[in-house]
Structure 1
Amino acid sequence: MARKSALKRTLVTFFVALVTFALFSTFFNPTTVTNSSSKLDDTAFSLNSAKTASVFRLKSNSFGGNSLVKVYVYDLPTRFTYGVIEQHSLARGGRPVDDVTTLKYPGHQHMSEWYLYSDLMRPQSERVGSPVARVSDPEEADLFFVPFFSSLSLIVNPIRPPGTTDASEKPVYSDDENQDALVEWLEQQEYWERNYGRDHVFVASDPNALHRVIDRVKSSVLLVSDFGRLRPDQGSIIKDVVIPYSHRIRVYDGDVGLDNRNTLLFFMGNRYRKEGGKIRDILFQILENEKDVIVKHGAQSRESRRVASQGMHTSKFCLHPAGDTPSACRLFDAIVSLCIPVIVSDNIELPFEDTIDYRKTAIFVETAAAIRPGYLVSALRAVTPDRILEYQKELEEVKRYFQYGEPDGTVNEIWRQVSKKLPLIKLMINREKRLVRMDSDCSCLCTNRTAISSNL
């Protein structure tokens, strides 16, 4: 009897430990996975108890094994959405229309704001694989999406060559005024004030987007191309999401291989840039006379994109020097061309690095080494054909992450990245509610010198 009692206690202890382990694992399982079964269903432990298995399934659903993050899309005044498209059209000679929602968003490298907005406006049944779901009731929302077309707003007024217009003439449209008006509108909204905007999401792909009001929205999740124009208290990899530029050249639809790639290294873009982009002029001087290397100066235009497509599709390597900020659209053009990116940008941040190991898809060269005459070309010539094919195969695997129009491409991956910020957002919201708010410059996880707030 003593042996049976001891055996019974041992089995009960083992059973309780097993269930505790399973519940613990479920709790810490990522909450944004979709289109796949709960990992608990594939557990290596074989359990005979149907009751225990049902507990596993219950906890998996409760803690979000397949749950969608709920997003509320603000119904902004038209001036911040389709009104920006209308103003962009009018500034370029377009005619007024009765219904601005019929206007087409213009193509440019910062189109992410349009793709994300239009994705959320589609019926949920068409949003296959998305980790977020749009809700109509803000009380149900985990996150709030602010669909201001900030990058398009920045370029509404076209750049005019010097001497073509009266310098004193005030443009009809003001991006600064629209930014101010947007934040004033938001600050009147209950859900903005409730959590200080921390659970709100803005797209600011152009490095200068939202420049006027960035300090008023810096606690929110910012979707940015890089942090080149942001101070550490305004943006960081911890609270924000790095997103790719929208590629502007034709996607390469050929096979992996070297037969049609006779150019060693290709680059086409603006030669003269400000700040960190000054490296471009130096690289031009070093590379422009090298054999099997093509470097061309060219701005965005239909013809430039055609030439760039041809050049990237027939080159083994594509140069990616820093622009005015660390990143530029050429990187993503290269990826969808299966042209191995050669990144010369010491401070670059890259999209989706928890999913993509860029060491397998790109070559990184320190700026100091790249500007040594002969170094870059010699290093690239030393890469074996087999190694080039390995890079190309990896690029083929990941290029869907950089195609906004793909059904399970860039848009879904951005939403996955945003969803992963939710635990941090909730942590900061709850934390701030118990603290005396004294540090106005702490937008992210940094040392907070405030004191505990009394509930009395």
Structure 2
Amino acid sequence: MMPYAKTMNEETTPTKTKGKKPKTTFQTLFSTMTRKPILKRTLAIIFIILVLYALFNTFFQPTDSTTFDSATATSTFPFNSATSSSVQLAAGASKFPSVKVYLYDLPERFTYGVIRHHSLARGSRVDENDVSTVKYPGHQHMAEWYLFSDLARPDSERPGSPVVRVLDPDEADLFFVPFFSSLSLIVNPIRPPGSGPGPEKNAYSDEETQEALVVWLEKQEYWKKSNGRDHVIVASDPNAMYRVVDRVKNCVLLLSDFGRLRPDQGSLVKDVIVPYSHRIKSYEGDVGVDKRNTLLFFMGNRYRKEGGKIRDTLFQILEKEDDVIIKHGAQSRESRRAASLGMHTSKFCLHPAGDTPSACRLFDAIVSLCVPVIVSDSIELPFEDTIDYRKIAVFVETAPATKPGYLVSILRGITPDRVLEYQKELKEVKRYFEYEEQDGTVNEIWRQVSKKLPLIKLMINREKRLFAKETECSCVCTNQTAIRSL
């Protein structure tokens, strides 16, 4: 029979064996330890804990403790906690060296020349010899102008920027191409049928200008070195650069969304989503619901293409509601004044898809502290690694939103206290959508671009060792596979 093994809770009596020493067992060792002074055992345990803590800090702690703490705090604390914010991972950028950017000295045809043509097409006079008199016109895709103007200023006037401009291209990490692609698209004003200049060709051709830009770029030494991968191009209008997008798709594209791009042309992995520049007056007051008597507000074009067709359905449903203002209106000074008043006096502002998933009214709402109600299933949002949009906006899927009564019932169920929480978060993130703020949209765009640099270097070095056939396709260009594979 197998001997019965005593448990540690049972009494153990040493057994004497003739001519032999008793065997040392775990039980006898433990019994011996218990007879040691308590102080020695306590000191030994403390020493072991300190050693383990030192090893853990050395080998397992993240290098960026600010990022770790911020992410942990956000996931741990509830929405209305003082430590829980819609802004995440925003700190710590200054720990890293500034990214060096070379501003291409493009022929004037692609910069100030575009502005001149836009002015001439609208009957304005311009001085061909003095670029200081050329004024970039206001519109919702002004990111290209703000970024160009930012790099054109001395670094002493660019506090907080994560990039520095270098004059020697050999020192550059990235190359900025300051083509005004969105303005170029709208140089020729839209005219009613029959009122145009006739069969003659327009004086300005956006397509020819796009083609000429790419021909110029492809001749540049630094474009050839990287196949354009370390070049940055702004194409925030969904139709900007449409003629040549296949020839510049390796670049870091600054876009409003991917609505007009194929998955092999644009990707969250290599590109940056940038906000529209808001066109209404920013709200300067404090948070509060007392003066916001309208439940939901929208003013914009009722009839749009593709995903924007939902607008007409929403108009039919919502225009019957007493505490909802929904109006058809095009871009004009008068419309902007009316939109400013409406957004500043409403609790919620509707953001349905336009011709593409995004539209400018989302950013108008944010700077108005009017809680956005986003009805756009495929929307991509700017700075989403920094901002938690669930804390500043209400998201409603398209299918239920188009059912009568569904949308307003959700909004009426949100308490005034919860609206105040949304407004407080909106006020905190507001600067990220103000292009003219000293540390606002422009600096955040540069931060987003800077984060692409390690991937850019990886792809450039990778292509140097691959055969030509293998470099024709890369998962980094594909929106569907890149996120899964990297």
TM-score by length of 2: 0.80
Match of 2:397 in 1: 366
Partner of 2:268, secondary structure, is: coil
- C-alpha distance in 2, partners of 1:71/1:390? 39
Partner of 1:255, secondary structure, is: coil
- C-alpha distance in 1, partners of 2:236/2:316? 30
Residue 339 (str. 1) matches residue 375 (str. 2): no
Counting only pairs closer than 5 Å after superposition, residues 21-420 of structure 1 correspond to structure 2 as 21=59, 26=63, 65-97=95-127, 98-420=129-451
Residue 432 (str. 1) matches residue 463 (str. 2): yes
Q: Which amino acid aligns with 1:257?
A: G
**1:286 Cα deviation (Å)?**
0.5
CA deviation vs aligned residue, 1:285-318 (integer Å, no higher than 9, x gap): 0111111100000111000000000000000000
Match 1:444 to one of 473, 476, 479:
476
What runs of 5+ residues in structure 1 fail to find an aligned partner? 1-9, 34-62, 449-456
**1:101 Cα deviation (Å)?**
3.9
Q: Which amino acid aligns with 2:246?
A: D
Structure 1 residues 436 and 318, CA gap change in structure 2 (3 angstroms): same
**1:165 Cα deviation (Å)?**
1.9
Q: Which has the larger radius of gyration?
A: 2
Matched-pair contact (CA < 8 Å) for 1:86–1:100: no
- C-alpha distance in 2, partners of 1:21/1:108? 51
- C-alpha distance in 1, partners of 2:363/2:52? 52
Match of 1:48 in 2: none
- C-alpha distance in 1, partners of 2:197/2:465? 55
Q: Which amino acid aligns with 1:430?
A: N
The share of aligned pairs that are identical, in percent, is 74
**1:357 Cα deviation (Å)?**
0.3
Partner of 2:436, secondary structure, is: coil
What runs of 5+ residues in structure 2 fail to find an aligned partner? 1-47, 68-92
CA deviation vs aligned residue, 1:213-247 (integer Å, no higher than 9, x gap): 10000000000000000001000111000000000
CA deviation vs aligned residue, 1:51-76 (integer Å, no higher than 9, x gap): xxxxxxxxxxxx99331000000000
- C-alpha distance in 2, partners of 1:269/1:440? 43
Matched-pair contact (CA < 8 Å) for 1:82–1:101: no
Matched-pair contact (CA < 8 Å) for 2:266–2:477: no
**1:17 Cα deviation (Å)?**
6.1
CA RMSD of aligned residues (A): 2.2
CA deviation vs aligned residue, 1:4-62 (integer Å, no higher than 9, x gap): xxxxxx9xx9999699649x955x789xx9xxxxxxxxxxxxxxxxxxxxxxxxxxxxx
- C-alpha distance in 1, partners of 2:419/2:458? 44
CA deviation vs aligned residue, 1:154-203 (integer Å, no higher than 9, x gap): 00000001111244121100000000000000011000000100000000
CA deviation vs aligned residue, 1:55-107 (integer Å, no higher than 9, x gap): xxxxxxxx993310000000000000000000100000011313134211000
Partner of 1:444, secondary structure, is: helix
- C-alpha distance in 1, partners of 2:53/2:396? 54
Partner of 2:356, secondary structure, is: coil
Q: Which amino acid aligns with 1:91?
A: A
Matched-pair contact (CA < 8 Å) for 1:131–1:419: yes
Structure 1 residues 315 and 307, CA gap change in structure 2 (3 angstroms): same
**1:283 Cα deviation (Å)?**
0.4
Partner of 1:169, secondary structure, is: coil
Paired residues in the alignment total: 404
Structure 1 residues 167 and 283, CA gap change in structure 2 (3 angstroms): farther
Matched-pair contact (CA < 8 Å) for 1:29–1:65: no
- C-alpha distance in 1, partners of 2:386/2:126? 45
- C-alpha distance in 2, partners of 1:119/1:355? 22
- C-alpha distance in 2, partners of 1:66/1:118? 24
- C-alpha distance in 2, partners of 1:354/1:199? 22
**1:432 Cα deviation (Å)?**
1.2
